[in-house]
Amino acid sequence: MQTLVAYVENKPGVLNRVSSLARRLAINIDSLTVGPTENEEIARMTIVAHTDERGAHRLEASLEKLVDVLLAENISTRALLERDLALIKVSADQQNRPHLMELIKVFRARVVDVAPESLIIEVSGTVDKIDGLLEVLRPFGVLEMARTGRISMTRGGDLLQPPAAEPVNSELESASSNVT
């Protein structure tokens, strides 16, 4: 599994270009999250892909060839902070509710909706943590689940920021010949 971060133009069609590229390279995407950045013209993607290092290199380099992609970087080998968020609706009756609440506490999750026959649990953390919670909830009966997919950020001073605007090279912008 490889994790890439990309900064892209925040406009229609860009997600399609990115996902279509992964399809063309026969790379299966495990999760892809998009959200705006502090600059509303730029969106940030975290792409988690089923591929090896070589495939990730191709994906990264090919993504960066897309006009609307400002930067793409494979951050799999770097010190990362990863977060996934899940809403899990689990069936809960009077009897097992205390037991459930205990588990929720252990996982530092929280209950965000209470109904007579069910609870909605919100949990965030690494994929492993959420998978772990899911594992122990399963016997109670998981009725519904929604997950955001992973977002990742490199730790500490290892910054990954969108590039600043550059002046264009107007020499290229011409139909005239360059036969030498």
Partner 1 sequence: MKLTGAEILCESLTRLGVREIFGYPGGAILPVYDALGKSKLHHVLVRHEQGATHMADGYARASGGIGVAMATSGPGATNMVTGIATAMMDSSPVVCITGQVSSKVLGSDAFQEIDITGITMPITKHNVVITKAEDIARTIREAFLIANGGRPGPVLVDITKDAQQASADFNWEASEPKLPPKRLRNNHDQAEFDRAVEMLNTAKRPIILAGHGIMVSGAMRAFEQFVRAGNYPVAMTLLGIGCFPANDPLNLGMMGMHGEAWVNNAIQEADLLIAVGMRFDDRVTGDLRTYAKSARKIHIEIDRAEINKNVRVDVALIGDAREVLEKLTPHTETRDHGAWINHIAELKGDSAVRDIQSLPDNGHLYAAHVINDIWKETGGEAIVVTDVGQHQMWEAQYYHHNRPRTLITSGGLGTMGFALPAAIGAKFARPGSEVWVVVGDGGFQMTMSELATIVQEKINVKIAIINNGYLGMVRQWQEFFYDKRYVATPLVAPDFAALANAFGIRGERVTKRAEVVPIIQSARESDETVLIDFRVEQEDSVYPMVAAGASLSDMIRRPNNPLVETATEP
H helix runs in 13-142, sequence order: 14-24, 53-65, 97-106, 127-137
Q: Which two tokens stand for residue 57?
A: 């290199």
CB of 36 to partner 1, least distance (A): 15
Residue among 64, 102, 128, 131 that touches partner 1 (CB under 8 A): 64
Burial class (CB in 10 A: 0-12, 13-18, 19+), 114: exposed
Cβ-based nearer residue to partner 1, 94 or 172: 172
Between CA 86 and CA 60, with CA 149 as vertex, the angle to 5 degrees is: 170
Judged by CB under 8 A, how many residues of this single chain contact partner 1?
36
Among 38, 54, 95, 159, interactor with partner 1 by CB under 8 A: 54
Return the residue matching tokens 């770097």: 78
Is position 179 an interface residue for partner 1 (rule: CB under 8 A)? yes
Q: Which residues bind partner 1 (CB under 8 A)?
A: 9, 13, 16-17, 20-21, 24, 54, 57-58, 61-62, 64-71, 162-166, 168-169, 172-180
